[in-house]
Amino acid sequence: MRLLLIEDSQRLRSALETGLRKAGYAVDAAGDGRDGLWLALENEYDVIVLDLMLPGLDGLSVLRQLRERGKATHVLILSAKDLIGDRVQGLRLGADDYLVKPFSFDELCARLEALVRRSYHAKNPVLRRGPLEINTAARRVTCEGREVKLTPREHSLLEILVLRSGEVLSRRELWERLYEFDREVTSNVVDVLVCSLRKKLDPHQPQRFIKTRRGQGYLIEEPAP
Amino acid sequence: MRSLRGRLIVWLLAGTGLLVTLAGVLLDRRIGSRLRQDFDADLIAEARSVMAVTEQQNGRVELELSPGLLPQLEARQEPDYFQVWLPGGRVLARSPSLGGRDLPRSASPSRRFQFAGLTLPDGRRGRRVEITFRPLVEPDDERTAGPPAGAGSAATLVVATGSEALDAFLASLHRTLALFILGLLLGSAVLVRIVTAFALRPLDGLARRLEAIDAGSLREPVVIAGAPSELVPTIEHLNGLLARLAGSFERERMFSANLAHELRTPLAELRAVTDVALKWPDDPASLLGALGEARSAGLQMEKIVVNLLALARYDGGLHTLHRSRVPLRETVESCWRAAAAEAEGRGLTAMLEIPAGLTLVTDREKLELILSNLFANAVAYGSPGGRITCAATASDGRFTLRVANPTTELEPGELPRVFDRFWRRDAARSDGRHVGLGLSLVAALCELLGFSKEARLHDGVFEIAVSGPVGEPEAATAIPKGDAFLPVSS
């Protein structure tokens, strides 16, 4: 899952980048409103975490411009402004959630997970595809009752594929969802990641869950009705 | 009575009542007096008629009253009375109405008409006039008898008439006037009440408007339609007060909001840093980095709290001034050295122009705090590559210290706010190294030390001037000429 973090406090931005990456998110970060707006318009993110008091362009203006330009990306406002009026204004301008500073990192993660689920129209944090069970809240995966240890990025890859079951996702699209904007990655990094995930899910039958569509990408098929 | 309306009604009614009563009494007296004068004039005329028919002939005094001459003396009902006495108390004549009775007369005869009240022989109240006069002397008698009769021939006349009609009329006049005054007072009361209600309507409107004012409507000026000119200055002062109050509230709100933000941000940083570190505790490098970040956030909060406490102490008078002789030049140089490294980092140079012998008698520590904050502000907000100047002058026992830096960010309209607590031009308040309390501290310290401060912006140069008494006259004059300035560049 790919996030955009727009926060002017360098210390907070750095801590959140570190934490969210460790939690499995690909995180792009911007320290002012103009850069943040540019990144948000240029890339596809699952969620944008947006501070309100930003240099260059304030958070509400960023949000307004995003919505005016048709960007429907979920936005979570993260602000020190705690008045009801501030929250109402932010939500009415098109934000999807509002979290007041200081906040619990776990709460932020939970809210981000909820927004990601909403992106894929999923309400239950536990996703099931046949013998696969993915608990997105606990970040725990089991296959036929056996716990599968995954890295955060492998977990994110599996989550995307399950949430978009039945859709063929191109390498490019997967790369965009899994890696940061400025991260240099090799061309086959997605293939390597898929290969690793397949082996962990079923070492004996790697292609059991994740199918390859040659020249198109990867998919997890929807369970038969 | 504390009500303005009540006071007006009472005083207006009391005043009107007094005036109307006085006017009534005067009118009553005047009319009564005039009627009595007319009454007495009639009585005198009647007495003169009697006197005219009283003659002295051949040494004898006679009174010959023709029938019908004075019909009131002959009336059967409510007649008038007269009686004439000759010297020695002998009665010369009396009106037929008296029968054989006597009218009262005074013990001291007078040649002037004397009036007095009496009860007439028929029981009515009346009024009498009395005069002692010399009867007319017939001419023939004068020729034959020689000179007029002596004192012994004087006669005393008393004429009396009933005064009940006059008394009744005067009583009626009293009653009429009293009722008129009472009616006038009642009418005045109603009128005064209506007039005061009408006249005080703007005050009622003002009271209602003031009642409706709350913290959210302080910016709405009080406008009273048709306000009288006496009320206009009050309303203007009130609107000025409300505007100042709104400004204070706004500053208070901004202060609270800014304080909350200044504290929430490092708190959020602290919490995020520690939450992330505790969630993945297996990475020693991350833990160490988190500790460093947490310490920085703690130091930032400490800076805010320390500055706020200092401001609170200065505001609350919880401070002690330790005055001593402070050489300004050395103190400025010392304070500048603390800021020089950061200034160099930003490409700023400095020019310090402080007279070598200028010594202030003040609190050294607090003066250093003023200088440090002024320099920190100049370094933080001076345009990179520019020059910061610090110059001092002294004359007439006063000094002025100016710290100036070039800037492209400040607007003239923002000058009044530069000393406000937590005010920062950057609404995002991104730079965590500054919290917007430095110049507030300068302002509080200046007030404490008896200095004045002023912020100016001209030609892209922001300048803060601090001035005040040197402290000792001799110190102010001890400024050597010549090479008195020490330019310092960094």
pLDDT tens for A106-147 read 999 999 989 988 877 777 778 888 888 888 878 889 988 888
Helix and strand totals (H; E) in chain B:
11, 15
Determine the pLDDT at residue B432: 63
Crossing angle, helix A10-22 and helix B284-316, to 10 degrees?
150
- Cα A51 to Cα B264: distance, rounded to the nearest angstrom: 13
Sign of CA dihedral B321, B324, B325, B328: negative
Q: What is the pLDDT of residues B369-426, one digit of tens each?
A: 999 999 999 998 888 889 999 999 998 889 999 999 998 878 888 888 888 887 777 7
Q: What is the pLDDT of residues B181-222, one digit of tens each?
A: 899 888 888 888 888 888 888 888 888 888 888 877 888 888
Q: Nearest-CA distance from B463 to chain A in Å?
A: 25
Overall average pLDDT of the B226-255 stretch: 84
B409: contact with A, CB 8 A cutoff: no
Q: Do B268 and A10 touch (CB under 8 A)?
A: no
Q: What is the pLDDT of residues B246-279, one digit of tens each?
A: 888 887 777 777 777 778 888 899 999 999 998 8
A152: contact with B, CB 8 A cutoff: no
B272: contact with A, CB 8 A cutoff: yes
- Cα B293 to Cα A9: distance, rounded to the nearest angstrom: 12
Q: Helical H runs in B438-482?
A: 438-449, 473-477
First to last CA, chain B: 74
Is the pLDDT at B234 greater than 60? The verdict is: yes
Q: Please list, in sequence order, all residues whose beta carbon lies within 8 angstroms of the beta carbon of residue A105, skipping any fewer than 6 positions away.
A: A16, A19, B271, B272, B275, B276, B279
Is the pLDDT at B304 greater than 80? The verdict is: yes
Cis? peptide before A102, omega within 30° of 0: yes
- Cα B444 to Cα B448: distance, rounded to the nearest angstrom: 6
Determine the pLDDT at residue B429: 65
Enumerate the residues of chain B whose CB falls inside 8 A of the CB of residue A11: 266, 269, 273, 293, 296-297, 432
Overall average pLDDT of the B457-481 stretch: 70
Enumerate the residues of chain A whose CB falls inside 8 A of the CB of residue B430: 8-9, 31-32, 53-55
Enumerate the residues of chain A whose CB falls inside 8 A of the CB of residue B261: 53, 80-81
Cα angle: A212, vertex A213, A214; to 5 degrees: 105
Q: What is the pLDDT of residues B143-187, one digit of tens each?
A: 444 444 444 478 999 999 999 989 999 999 999 989 988 998 888
pTM of the model: 0.58
Cα angle: A162, vertex A166, A171; to 5 degrees: 75
Q: Do A15 and B273 touch (CB under 8 A)?
A: yes
Q: Which long-range contacts (CB under 8 A, 24 or more apart) does A62-67 make?
A: A62/A6, A62/A33, A62/A36, A62/A37, A63/A90, A63/A93, A63/A94, A63/A95, A64/A93, A64/A94, A65/A37, A66/A37, A66/A40, A66/A41, A66/A94, A67/A93, A67/A94
Q: Do B293 and A11 touch (CB under 8 A)?
A: yes
Grade residue B356 by pLDDT with cuts at 50, 70 and 90. Answer: confident
Which of B260, B268, B428 is the closest to A12 by Cβ? B268
B11: contact with A, CB 8 A cutoff: no
Is the pLDDT at B476 greater than 60? The verdict is: no
Q: What is the pLDDT of residues B83-116, one digit of tens each?
A: 999 888 889 888 888 888 899 988 888 889 999 9
Q: Which pair of tokens denotes residue B263? A: 């504290």
A103: contact with B, CB 8 A cutoff: yes
Selected residue of B259, B262, B264, B274 to mutate for chain A interface (largest A Cβ count, 10 A): B264
- Look-up: residue for tokens 């000792």? B472
Enumerate the residues of chain B whose CB falls inside 8 A of the CB of residue A16: 272, 276
- Look-up: residue for tokens 């909820």? A114
Q: Please list, in sequence order, all residues whose beta carbon lies within 8 angstroms of the beta carbon of residue A135, skipping any fewer than 6 positions away.
A: A125, A126, A141
Q: Which residues of chain A have pLDDT under 70?
A: 181-187, 223-225
Determine the pLDDT at residue B360: 92
A107: contact with B, CB 8 A cutoff: no
Burial class (CB in 10 A: 0-12, 13-18, 19+), B354: buried
Residue B62 backbone dihedrals phi, psi, to 5 degrees: -130, 150
Neighbours of B44 (CB within 10 A): 16
Overall average pLDDT of the B18-22 stretch: 90
Selected residue of A8, A10, A12 to mutate for chain B interface (largest B Cβ count, 10 A): A12
Determine the pLDDT at residue B483: 36
Determine the pLDDT at residue B332: 93
Neighbours of B462 (CB within 10 A): 24
Q: Do A106 and B280 touch (CB under 8 A)?
A: no
Residue A174, SS3? Answer: helix
> Of B148, B131, B159, whose CA–CA distance to B61 is shortest?
B148
Is the pLDDT at B140 greater than 80? The verdict is: no
Determine the pLDDT at residue A78: 93
Determine the pLDDT at residue A182: 65
- Cα B393 to Cα B485: distance, rounded to the nearest angstrom: 11
Contact B304, B263 (CB under 8 A): yes
Determine the pLDDT at residue B145: 44
Q: Which pair of tokens denotes residue A197? A: 């995930």
Average pLDDT of chain B is 84
Q: Do A80 and B290 touch (CB under 8 A)?
A: no
Q: Do A9 and B261 touch (CB under 8 A)?
A: no
Contact B449, B468 (CB under 8 A): yes
Determine the pLDDT at residue A224: 64
Residue of B nearest to A53 (CA): B428
